[in-house]
Each structure stands twice: as structure tokens, then as C-alpha cells.
Amino acid sequence: MSRQVQKYFDRAAGTYLEEAVIQEEAARRCAGNIPRGYYPRVLEIGAGGGLLTRHCLERIRAGIYLAMDVSSPMLRLLPLDRVVPVQADGEVLPLREQSLDLLTSSSVMQWYASGAQGIARSLSFLSPGGFFSLSLFVAGTFRQMKHISSMSGFGSVYPLPRVRECMAAISRSGTEYKSRVESYTVYYDSVQGFLKSHKGTGAGYTGRKPVFGRQSYGNFCRMYLETYGEGGRIPVDYRVLYIRGQKK
């Protein structure tokens, strides 16, 4: 995961829980896909903020619950009396392979620099019979913003993984799994409000040099509203891939 991604989430620690509406829904669904019961060794990748953590702790019992995130400020939002916080990169896990009974992650693995192969690599840390439940944003998310950015010259959208790429990698991971893609649309009162909320989630990194300027920003807001606006409000599309399964 890029060091730049970490910086964005470090800065968003104070606003994340308020703004992470879709992330909360993805976390709830992700936790709901975990079979109830006791798991001796649990790892949550990208736990900062605690959305998924809290849903999981309502559903399962854990011998040890490792809550991992690259961002130290985000880790401080966790229920630290119930988990072991670990500041580390999910793509470079400081663990032995086949050492986990449950692996879970929500709204994080789309940031993996190694893409779908990195997601499959994470599953190698499950012991035989171990369970996993993942959710991640995939291509099609921010469809409108990508379109208007290309026309206005303002901003850009991070290249999210494609569903078929993820599933091809998972199919080679030695697991039995089920998957589902859910689409969501959130309406904002203004383009400016959406951009502020998006920044507040820490998800502003795009992998490209930022494009700013008063004129291009004004064009972006105007064109978004003109092209997609509905009664003065603007829609934002999200696509979430849910994958759950068990190591053979």
C-alpha cells in the first residue's frame, strides 16, 4: 500500500466516522457474512476507524483479535480494550502463513498496490479450514466523478480493481468461496458537499498528480450538476464486491 495512501487516512482520522456512510454499510454486510462462533486467531486488515471491528465483535468471540492498519491516528479510534492494535501494511503481513483462523477486511483491499494478486496472497495466511470475509470497492465506483473529471480537467479517480480480476485471483487461492456485487447510490445536496465528504473519508488519493484551479473546479461542479443533477442533488455510485469463504 502506498505511503501516500497512509497520509490521506492519517489526516482523515477526525472526520472518518462521520463521513464513512457507505463504508459503514460495507462493514456491516462484511461482518454479517462471518459464521458466528469462536475463532482463536483473528486478523482484520485495515481496521482503523473500527467500523468493521465493532460489527465483528458483536458477532464472534476471539482468542486474539489483531486489528491492523497503516495509520496510527486511525488505530486510536478502535476499542483498544478488546483488540490488539498493529500498525502494519496488509500487503506485507508480519505473520506466518497458515496462522489465522479468521481473516476479514472491509473497504481496504482496493488500495493494494499489487491489486487482485495481493488480495489472494492475504488468504495464504489462513490455516486450513479458516474462514474469511472481505468487502472492497471495485470499478464502477465514482462513475459520475470519473466522467466529469475527464471532461472538466479537474481531479481524477483512483483505478479500482475489476471484479473479474479479483475473482480470477481468488479462484487460484485454494479456497471455497461465494461472492456478490452490490451497487449503491448516495445523493448529496451539492457537488461541493460530496467532495468535502469524500475528503473526510481519507479516500482522496488517486495515484496521480492533483489537478487544481478555480476555473477547472468551477467547471467540474457545474458540469456534474448539469449532467447528473436530480432536483438540485447529485448522485454518487459505489460498487462493492463481497467475498466470503473457507480455506480448503
Q: Is residue 54 part of a domain?
A: yes
Q: Give percent of the chain above pLDDT 70.
A: 97
**Domain enclosing residue 79, as ranges:** 3-139+159-184+238-247
198 assigned to some structural domain: no
Do 42 and 104 contact (CB within 8 A), yes or no?
Answer: yes
Kindly state the percentage of the chain with pLDDT values over 90. 88
- Residue-wise pLDDT tens digits, 108-134: 999 999 999 999 999 999 999 999 999
* Domain contains 178: yes
Q: With respect to residue 115, please indicate whether it lies within any of the assigned structural domains.
A: yes
Quick check: 1 pLDDT over 70? no
Instruction: Tell me the average pLDDT of the chain.
Output: 94
State the average pLDDT over residues 161-181.
96
Residue pLDDT, tens place only, 26-39? 999 999 999 999 99
- At 177-215, the pLDDT tens digits run 999 999 999 999 999 999 999 999 998 888 766 666 789
* pLDDT band with cut points at 50, 70 and 90 for residue 2: low
Does residue 38 fall inside a structural domain?
Answer: yes
Residue 129, classified by CB atoms within 10 Å of its CB into exposed (0-12), middle (13-18) or buried (19+), is exposed
Residue 68 has pLDDT above 80, yes or no: yes
The full DSSP string for 196-236 is HHHHHTTTT--SS-----HHHHHHHHHHHHHHH-BTTBEEE
Mind giving me the DSSP string for 138-166?
A: -EEEEHHHHHHHHHH-------PPPHHHH
More confident residue, 208 or 79: 79
The mean pLDDT value for 58-83 works out to: 96
Q: Residue 46 is part of a domain; what is its CATH number?
A: 3.40.50.150
Q: Is the pLDDT of residue 15 over 90?
A: yes
pLDDT of residue 210: 60
| CA 122 to chain CA mean position, Å | 15
For 43, the grid coordinates are 486478523
Of 1-10, 47-56, 148-157, 173-182, the poorest mean pLDDT is in 1-10
> Is the pLDDT higher at 215 or at 83?
83
Cα 146 to Cα 120, 139, 140, 143: the distances in Å are: 27, 11, 9, 5
Domain-embedded: residue 89: yes
Residue 230 maps to a domain = no
The reported pLDDT for the residue numbered 9 is: 93
- Confidence band (pLDDT; 50, 70, 90) for 66? very high
Q: For residues 65 and 48, is the Cβ–Cβ distance under 8 A?
A: no
- Average pLDDT of span 85-99: 94
Amino acid 214: pLDDT: 83
Residue at 106 is within a domain:
yes
Q: Where are the alpha helices (DSSP H) in the chain?
A: 3-11, 16-19, 21-32, 51-59, 72-75, 115-122, 143-152, 163-170, 191-200, 214-228
Domain count, the chain: 1
